[in-house]
Every structure is written in structure tokens, then in C-alpha cells.
Structure 1
Amino acid sequence: MHAKQGSTTFLKVIIFLAGITVLALCIWWFPELAIRDARVRPGDYSLYPILGFAYGCCIAFSVALYQAFKLLTYIERNNAFSELSLKSLKVIKKSALTTIFIIVLGIGYLKVLSKFTGDDPAGPISLSLMGILATSIIAAIVDALQKPLKNILEKPKND
């Protein structure tokens, strides 16, 4: 019991630190980036959709972090095989798919923007594709965890 409590506590601390990092990005770094861009290129609003995509990804990621924190709490309380755990896994998977969708929209926007500006979007697009790969792996792992849990919960209680 103590080893499980220690490992879930460690994971909760990691999730909390990731959440603080996302919050710092949204509160300080993204607005600072927008202010700096507005000073350098007044009248050019091409950065704002990218900021919207970034905020959308941060929101979806924060929802997934919160659900992962809740899932660890269920595990600590020996409630890992419950409807609540299944619901948390579903929300995490939906958040991952939402993040992928937002990244794909961002890639499309970068491609269109590059046609007008003549810039090469290869760097940001390759980073975006790496983000899609990482998020897809998370979604696949959650799906692999979700299926057996769903099967366990659907079994009749008399067996």
C-alpha cells in the first residue's frame, strides 16, 4: 500500500508541475509573445490565430491533466476499476483527440500563411507533427487501458 501511495503521489506532483508550466505559458509567455510581435509588426495580426491554437491545446491538455490527477486519486482509494475511472479515461482520450485536431488546424493555417508570406513553415510543422505523434501515443495507450476496464465493468456481478 505504501509503495503504491508513493508512486501515485510522485505522479501527482509531476502532473501538478506540468499544470503549473501550462498555466505559466498561458499567463505570461503567450501574452508577452503577442505584445512583442505587435511592437515589431504593427497592423499584422497573423500571429493571433496561432495563439488561439496554442491556447486551445493548453486547455485540452489541462483538462487531460486534471482527469489524470483524478484517475490517480481513484487508484489511491482502490477504486481503479470503477465507472469513474472509465469516465476519466474517456475524457483524457477526447482531450488527446481534440489536441490533435487543433494541431492539424494549426498546420493548415501555417500552410496557408506561408503561401502569402513566402516563409518556410517546415520547422513549426515538423514540431507540430511530433506533437501529433506524442499525443497519438497517449490516446492509443488510454484506449488500450479503456477497453479491458470497460469489459471488466460490463461483466455480470454474479460471476
Structure 2
Amino acid sequence: MCWPRFRCETVGFVFQAFQLMDELSAVENVELPALLAGRSPGKARKRVGGLLERVGLADRAGHVPSALSGGQRQRVAVARALMNEAVLVLADEPTDNLDSQATGDVLRLFDSLREAGQTLVMVTQDRQIAATADRAVGLRGGRIVQETRAAAVGANRFAAVVR
């Protein structure tokens, strides 16, 4: 198995500090994983439009990261993580430093991912945000110190790791 290809095609990453390319527009940042995976630019660009619309940023598609708010940059990062139709999305503190409206937007988006059948693992220090997950695992010193599961959850597609 080719691990870089597996990661590129199966796992989407949402980094705490966004990790967007400063000189690229929102469209170009989102399409980058598809181009790295060898997909055609035309097909990648079509998918980007739908993803930016899904995250509520179709009107900001041509803007570079410095022209976007923190919440908008985070949503670009989420769209980028979804570009290659990842089965698993790993999100590191995706709501850290966001205002309450942007936090709500990102959490609603994550909820829609779960409903669409994707699995999301989020690392957070915010217990209220962790409480929105189907399953929450508390870690201290690298050890599990607490685990909770939401009642009547079948698929456990949204897990939070609380540091």
C-alpha cells in the first residue's frame, strides 16, 4: 500500500492554524489536494464550486486567505479536507479562536458530514464542543481517563478527543 496516496484519497485534515497557502485563492486552496492526487483540473474545479457553496463561501472563492476572516479560513480548510471525498476527517481544534457564529457554522457543517456518512475525529479542549460528538474520549498524559457515548447513537461517526 502506498501510504501517501492512501492519506491523500482517504483522510482529510483540518488543521488548527488552517495551513492555507497564502498566495492561493480559496478555490485554489480547496482544489490543491485533488491536483496532488492526479485528478484533472477541470473536474477538480467543478467540485470546488460545490464545496465552497456547501461551506457558505461561494461569494469569497477568489479571495486569498488574508482577505478572509478566521471563520471563513476555517471553512476553506474544511472544504479542502473534503475535496477528495475523504472517508475520515481529522480536525485539530477546528473551532479554536473562532467567534460563536463561526463555531456554530463549523459544527453544523461537521454534523452534516456525519449525516452524509463521513467519520469525523476532532481534538478539542472545549468540553461543550466535545459534548456535540457521538463519542467523547478524555485524555490526560496520553491515557484515556474518561469516555462517554451519546444515547441512541448507532454509527458513532463523530468522535471528539478532549485534551
Q: TM-score, normalised by structure 1?
A: 0.28
Structure 1 or 2: more strand by fraction: 2
More helix by share: 1
Over alpha carbons, which structure has the higher Rg? 1
